């Protein structure tokens, strides 16, 4: 059975909701899912799963969540070859070029650590609406498909 670990960072709940949608979609594929808040997540536990997902907000014009910086540093030092990853997030289009900058930073960190992208990153504007749920369902489909392919 495939396993997934979904980590979220949230202040007002949007990214927790994004994470929940991804968890539900993965569970529908019979993936065994663990979900944790970023500051409560040990990188050594996180990297045990086959599918690694981060859902996190952006603050202060492109800043990453402060409570997630240790996790981010540890992720950059990890060896994630053979792992499948995906990054999704809720930000605010109002911030223009900084829209969901955190999603880009985590995407880069996973790539640098040697992980395989299972799906294109998903950037959501504020709370997830119906079309965002669709995008996140497809995101989860991609993660599972890629993980099955890698483990075959």
Ligand X SMILES: Cc1cc2nc3c(=O)[nH]c(=O)nc-3n(C[C@H](O)[C@H](O)[C@H](O)COP(=O)(O)O)c2cc1C
The smaller minimum CB distance to ligand X, of residues 13 and 82, is found at 13
Q: Closest separation between CB of residue 28 and ligand X, Å?
A: 23
Binding residues for ligand X, per CB under 6 A? Answer: 10-15, 57-62, 90-92, 95, 98-101, 126
Report which residue's Cβ sits closest to ligand X.
91
Q: Closest separation between CB of residue 17 and ligand X, Å?
A: 8
The smaller minimum CB distance to ligand X, of residues 45 and 61, is found at 61
Q: How far is CA 123 from CA 61, 110, 120, 127, in A?
A: 15, 16, 10, 11
Bridge partners (DSSP) of residue 63 are: 59
Residues in contact with 103: Cβ distance below 8 Å, sequence separation at least 6, in sequence order: 56, 58, 87, 88, 89, 91, 121, 122, 123
Segment (H or E) for 52: strand 51-56
The smaller minimum CB distance to ligand X, of residues 56 and 115, is found at 56
Q: Closest separation between CB of residue 97 and ligand X, Å?
A: 9
The smaller minimum CB distance to ligand X, of residues 15 and 146, is found at 15
The backbone torsions φ and ψ at residue 86, rounded to the nearest 5 degrees and listed phi first, read: -150, 145
């Amino acid at each position: 059975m495939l396993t997934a670990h979904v980590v979220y960072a949230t202040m007002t709940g949007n990214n927790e909701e994004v994470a929940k949608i991804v968890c539900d979609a993965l569970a529908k594929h019979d993936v065994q899912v663990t979900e944790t808040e970023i500051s409560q997540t040990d990188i050594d536990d996180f990297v045990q799963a086959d599918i690694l997902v981060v859902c996190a907000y952006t603050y202060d014009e492109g800043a990453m969540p402060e409570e997630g910086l240790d996790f981010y540093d540890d992720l950059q030092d990890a060896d994630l070859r053979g792992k499948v990853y995906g990054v999704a997030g809720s930000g605010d289009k109002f911030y223009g070029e900084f829209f969901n900058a955190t999603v880009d930073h985590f995407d880069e960190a996973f790539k640098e650590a040697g992980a395989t992208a299972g799906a294109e990153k998903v950037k959501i504007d504020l709370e997830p609406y119906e079309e965002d749920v669709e995008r996140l369902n497809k995101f989860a489909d991609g993660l599972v498909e890629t993980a099955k392919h890698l483990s075959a």
